[in-house]
């Protein structure tokens, strides 16, 4: 019976992690260039049960669930026109490079602006890298898109604020388009459906834990009431 509590608890922990991921996706449904995550679950190895009296096989018993892996959907999304010359989007493959305090990061979020020095920066104030790692000058509210560096990034890993780390390997094949932003990779309708399904699963697990706890309490009281 106690094993049932552990199995149910592991399911709740897996669903909590899944809900955190879905909530983060929904919060970024309008973030330019955001890439949605996909979480898959796996079960722990089954425990084979056998009859203690004659050794005959009873059958397998699952030992709970866990998050198997989390993958990021890196597919390019549709572009939307903004009419703002400092809004940049990558058509095709490639990432913008930004110089942060933690080193160079890569992003598809081209919502940029000009800093006090007249250089192109992201929303966090990080310098956007031009060709050769040089800053990109903003003149009369516009830039020369041919000066913007695009990086071919292998094995990108999310680092927050729409930034990625990864292995940069030369010039990317994509092109830079001014006055546009790449849309978010989140499908709000799908994310809401997945979140509701996860909540229903957690509710079912909570009911299982309550049932097991009640049964254990009744068993303890009945055993304690047996005559010695």
Tell me what pLDDT residue 77 has: 94
Instruction: Looking at mean pLDDT, say which of 39-53, 60-74, 118-132, 159-173 comes out highest.
Output: 118-132
Tell me what pLDDT residue 80 has: 95
Mean pLDDT across the stretch 143-170? 92
DSSP label at residue 169: E
Average pLDDT, the chain: 86
DSSP label at residue 131: G
Structure-model confidence comparison of residues 192 and 39, the more confident one: 192
For the chain, domain boundaries: 2-74+186-225, 79-182
**Cα angle for residues 185, 188, 189 (degrees, 5° grid):** 130
Q: Which tens digits make up the pLDDT trace of 120-155?
A: 999 999 999 999 899 999 999 999 999 999 999 999
CA dist 158 and 31 (Å) reads 14
What b/e readout covers 122-139, taking b as 16+ CB neighbours within 10 angstroms?
A: beeebbbbbeeeebbebe
Q: Which tens digits make up the pLDDT trace of 62-119?
A: 566 666 777 899 999 999 999 999 999 999 999 999 999 999 999 999 999 999 999 9
Structure-model confidence comparison of residues 149 and 228, the more confident one: 149
Task: Give the C-alpha distances (Å, rounded to integers) separating 196 from 19, 46, 131, 191, 201.
Answer: 9, 28, 46, 9, 9
Tell me what pLDDT residue 43 has: 63
Tell me what pLDDT residue 1 has: 47
Tell me what pLDDT residue 115 has: 95
Q: Which tens digits make up the pLDDT trace of 65-75?
A: 666 777 899 99
Mean pLDDT across the stretch 18-44? 87
């Amino acid at each position: 019976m106690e094993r049932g509590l552990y199995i149910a608890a592991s399911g709740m922990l897996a669903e909590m992690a899944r809900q955190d991921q879905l909530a983060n996706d929904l919060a970024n449904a309008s973030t330019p260039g955001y890439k949605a995550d996909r979480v898959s679950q796996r079960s722990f190895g089954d425990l084979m049960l056998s009859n203690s009296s004659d050794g005959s096989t009873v059958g397998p018993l699952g030992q709970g669930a866990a998050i198997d892996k989390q993958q990021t959907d890196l597919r390019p999304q549709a572009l939307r026109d903004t009419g703002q010359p400092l809004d940049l989007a990558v058509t095709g493959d490639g990432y913008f490079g930004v110089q942060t305090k933690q080193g160079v990061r890569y992003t598809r979020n081209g919502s940029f602006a000009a800093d006090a020095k007249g250089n192109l920066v992201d929303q966090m104030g990080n310098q956007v890298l031009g060709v050769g790692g040089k800053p990109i000058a903003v003149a009369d509210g516009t830039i020369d898109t041919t000066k913007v560096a695009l990086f071919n990034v292998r094995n990108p890993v999310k680092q927050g604020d729409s930034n990625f780390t990864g292995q940069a390997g030369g010039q990317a094949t994509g092109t830079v388009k001014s006055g546009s932003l790449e849309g978010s990779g989140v499908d709000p309708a799908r994310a809401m459906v997945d979140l509701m399904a996860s909540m229903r699963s957690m509710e079912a697990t909570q009911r299982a834990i309550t049932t097991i706890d009640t049964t254990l309490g009744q068993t303890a009281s009945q055993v304690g009431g047996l005559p010695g």
